Amino acid sequence: MNSEEILDFLSAAVASSDYLSAREHETSEINQTPDNFGERIMTKFVAAAKKFVAEENGATMIEYGLIVALISLAAVAALGPVGDAIQANFENVQTEVENATN
């Protein structure tokens, strides 16, 4: 199920039930009675679920994480041969210094 299907499902669930809209629910007299506690909780839960499904911040963070991981892999792959070349240069310098001092 993609996010649009989930939003449609949640909207249909709210529309098919007798839940009041959030604004009507806050201002209604029925809101003050303990009998509708489950209804209030369910309305808040459905609203929070719809907000969670619609929000894309988590997906964006994951995308940035993947980009950083790919850049890191590219850097490690590129710097491996460079490190070997630098090590070879230092070994050559060491050999030249040893030969010059002997």
Q: With 50 as the cut, is the pLDDT of residue 87 above it? A: yes
- Which residue among 24, 39, 55 closes a domain? 55
> Residues 6-44: pLDDT tens digits?
666 766 666 555 444 544 555 555 445 556 777 777 788
What total number of domains does the chain contain?
2
Query: Are the CB atoms for 13 and 46 separated by under 8 Å?
Result: yes
Indicate if 35 and 65 belong to the same structural domain: no
Q: With 90 as the cut, is the pLDDT of residue 95 above it? A: yes
Residue 42's domain spans which residues?
1-55
The two structure tokens encoding residue 57: 């911040």
Cα 2 to chain center, whole Å? 16
Indicate if 47 and 5 belong to the same structural domain: yes
Indicate if 50 and 64 belong to the same structural domain: no
Indicate if 61 and 51 belong to the same structural domain: no
How far from each other are the two terminal CA atoms of the chain, in whole angstroms? 76
Handedness of CA 36, 40, 43, 49 (dihedral sign): negative
Average pLDDT in the 59-78 region? 88
